[in-house]
Amino acid sequence: MIADAASGVALALRGEGDPYALSRVLRQSDALAPAAVRVLGADALAPYAADHHTPAAGDEDRGVVQAALAAFPPGADASAVSVWSYRGLVEASHAFLPGGPDRWPQPPDAASGWVEADPWPRLAHRASQLAALALPGLSPALADALTTRTDDLARGFVRAVRRRDWLQAAGLGRWLARLPGVPPTLGLDAGLAFIGHMGGGDARVALHLVAARCFYGRGE
């Protein structure tokens, strides 16, 4: 189901298929729809951030997201990734869904000490899990913090490609597409293309690659 939803989002970002509506990809009546939205995070709304012919989100989309936010709030012992992902979905709701700020919860505070403190392999893994936040305008403070460790994210990209962890590699490539100062010797565009050939069959991998191209023009 998550794979289907990810494919739907990717299709919309490519500007293909029917005009995107989250409420059609994930019907509110489906018991698992809120869980899928929570896992996709901000990416559930990514097509609304794209320039091309996505109609504005409607009330039904809002309902799906509200159900997800209500059903799966991060608990007291939730991981930093879970809190950040939730925060990304809230931020994207503010940005792309109808209704004033009062319709949506305030974005929760999310711990960011790990961005500075993590050894690079762990940092890279976490960042890749938060690749849905690599959308225009989303979580600028996190993006700024990650900018201080662009080299380490690039190292994580290299490590992930070499060990054929395509999902992590694609997520990191998507962040690197957003961040300034990526080392030129990384070969990011060729790397993204390579991941597409090797791991593009995974819908979530494909989604990250499409987002990197659609929003940041990388991996062409």
Partner 1 sequence: MSGPPSAAADTALLDSVATGALSWLGAYRDRFRLPADVTTDADPNLTLKPLGELAELARLIQELHPRADVREAAAELFAFAWEQFGRGALHAELMRNEPQAVYPVELYGVFARAGLRHPAADALLTTVTGLRRWRVAGGDHTRTLSVLNAERRIGVPLHADPGAVFALTGLGLRAEPWLLDLRAAYGLTHDVFHLTDWGRARHRMAAPFAAYLRLWLPCWLEGELERELWDLVGELLAVAACLPRPWYPADVWRRLAAAQRPDGGVPERSDPADGPYRDDPFLTCYHSTLVTAFAATLARVGTDTTPDDSTGPARATAPGRESEAAP
Partner 2 sequence: MSMDRTASVESVTLAVEVEDLLDSTEPDGVFRDTRECAGAAILLGALLASPPTPRPKPDAR
Residues that bind partner 2 (CB under 8 A): 1-3, 30-32, 35-36, 38-39, 41, 71-72, 75, 78-79, 81-82, 85, 125, 129, 162-165, 168, 204
What does the DSSP assignment read for 113-167?
HHHHHS-HHHHHHHHHHTGGG-STTS-HHHHHHHHTTHHHHHHHHHHHHHTT-HH
Q: Is the dihedral of CA 37, 111, 105, 208 positive or negative?
A: negative
Considering only 1, 19, 190, 217, the residue that binds partner 1 (CB under 8 A) is 190
Instruction: Give the other-Cβ count within 10 Å of 3's Cβ.
Output: 13
User: Reduced to 3 states, what is the DSSP secondary structure of residue 45?
Assistant: helix
Query: Of residues 125-144, which lie at the interface with partner 1 (CB under 8 A)?
Result: 125
Round to whole Å and give the CA distance between 27 and 162: 38
Q: Does 158 bind partner 1 (CB under 8 A)?
A: yes
Q: Does 155 bind partner 1 (CB under 8 A)?
A: yes
Compare residues 50 and 127 and give the one whose CB is closer to partner 2. 127
Q: Does 162 bind partner 1 (CB under 8 A)?
A: yes
Residue recorded with tokens 């593009």: 200
Report whether 80 contacts 110 (CB < 8 A): yes
Contact track, partner 1, 22-51, x by CB under 8 A: ------------------------------
What's the one-letter identity of residue 45? L
Report residue 151: phi and psi, to 5°: -60, -40
Compare residues 82 and 93 and give the one whose CB is closer to partner 2. 82
Q: Does 114 bind partner 1 (CB under 8 A)?
A: no
Q: How many residues bind partner 1 (CB under 8 A)?
A: 29
Compare residues 149 and 204 and give the one whose CB is closer to partner 1. 149
Q: Does 185 bind partner 1 (CB under 8 A)?
A: yes
Cβ-Cβ contacts under 8 Å for 125 (sequence gap 6 or more):
156, 168
N-to-C CA span, the chain: 28
Compare residues 31 and 117 and give the one whose CB is closer to partner 2. 31
Q: Does 122 bind partner 1 (CB under 8 A)?
A: yes
Binding stretches for partner 1 (CB under 8 A):
117-123, 125, 149, 151-152, 154-159, 161-163, 169, 181, 183, 185-187, 190-191, 194
